[in-house]
Structure 1
């Protein structure tokens, strides 16, 4: 099963977050849709671990072309491949250098609360998080890529409404890309048939 093709939301409208790197992991794991397996992306800097569950929202396409990044504030670690039903509470806006050297691009991260998190179930917007927690999350996102050639810059926080809008926009972008790909494949298949294959 290709986890990247799961629906972005469940029947109740909660957002799916596929865990790649669980809380406490000192390495960045990345889901490879072609292999349908998790691969090692890179180790984090010494002493740095993921503070919460890190992963992506399936069937989305962010500005950088990858699925939309998400961090789920689960109280304890889960495992790669676990799917968490979440409520998005905010967005950490990030800008960084594109991998292909084409300039700067956005790489925003959705912050979400799993629906099965009774200790923090009252948090529904990023402003409800303690200021210290927000500051530490910001510092983590910078420290985690310190040795990468990303030159990441934080552009601030946005709340629940902006998170929902970003998810919807990324879902539409993924659907459009899928439609374009299918049209292209159908067009190429038609050409081959016309050629007397």
Structure 2
């Protein structure tokens, strides 16, 4: 099994996202690099499920010490370990406070699978609609109930600014190696 953390971030201008938790899952799954498995972490609050595939951007590093987070907007559900080549739509800027009171930046990047044959009917070519932004924000607020974490949203980045942040995460990953 490959080490998903070290896959190249981009290919032919597209950004890879490794799916950890597929659309429809009622529990958070996460990649564990030491065992190269996808482990059960915790259930979501009762009645909740992931609205879209959730995972990470390989060969990046965020302020929390983990790869950058990614939500892939599409109709299908995949499975843990699937790698999707995506177009970047933007990012939700998030200030996260952990159980221990540590405050850090933990943005959520939003992607759509690159489709050469048909447009993605859920998103415009280069952004996330205001309605979908509100739904995504509500999901993230609800998903941390009972974890001791709190989230504060600081607005949205468009695709160009989000790409600058991903490049910063790539540099942080390279510097750590």
Does the CA-based 8 Å contact 1:56-1:69 persist in structure 2? yes
- 1:124 Cα deviation from its structure 2 partner: 3.2
TM-score by length of 1: 0.84
Deviation for aligned residue 1:150:
1.0
Q: Equivalent residue for 2:92?
A: 92
Q: Which residue of 2 aligns with 1:150?
A: 149
- Kindly indicate whether the alpha-carbon contact (under 8 Å) linking 2:98 and 2:150 is maintained by their aligned counterparts in 1: no
Q: Which runs of 5+ in 2 are unaligned?
A: none
Deviation per residue, 1:53-108 (Å, 9 max, x gap): 10000010011110000001121101110000001110011111146x36210110
Structure 1 residue runs of 4+, over 4 Å off? none
Tell me the distance in 1 between the aligned counterparts of 2:154 and 2:86. Answer: 24
- Aligned residue number for residue 120 of structure 1: 120
Superposition deviation, residue 125 in structure 1: 2.7
The structure with the greater share of residues assigned to strand is 2
Q: Secondary structure at the match of 2:80?
A: coil
**Normalised TM-score (structure 2):** 0.93
**What residue ranges of structure 1 are gaps of 5+ in the alignment?**
179-197
SS at match of 2:93: strand
- Is 1:26 matched up with 2:26? yes
1:49 aligns with 2:49: yes
- Bigger proportion of residues as helix: 1
Larger radius of gyration: 1
Number of equivalences: 174
Note if contact 1:88-1:124 (Cα within 8 Å) is conserved in structure 2: no
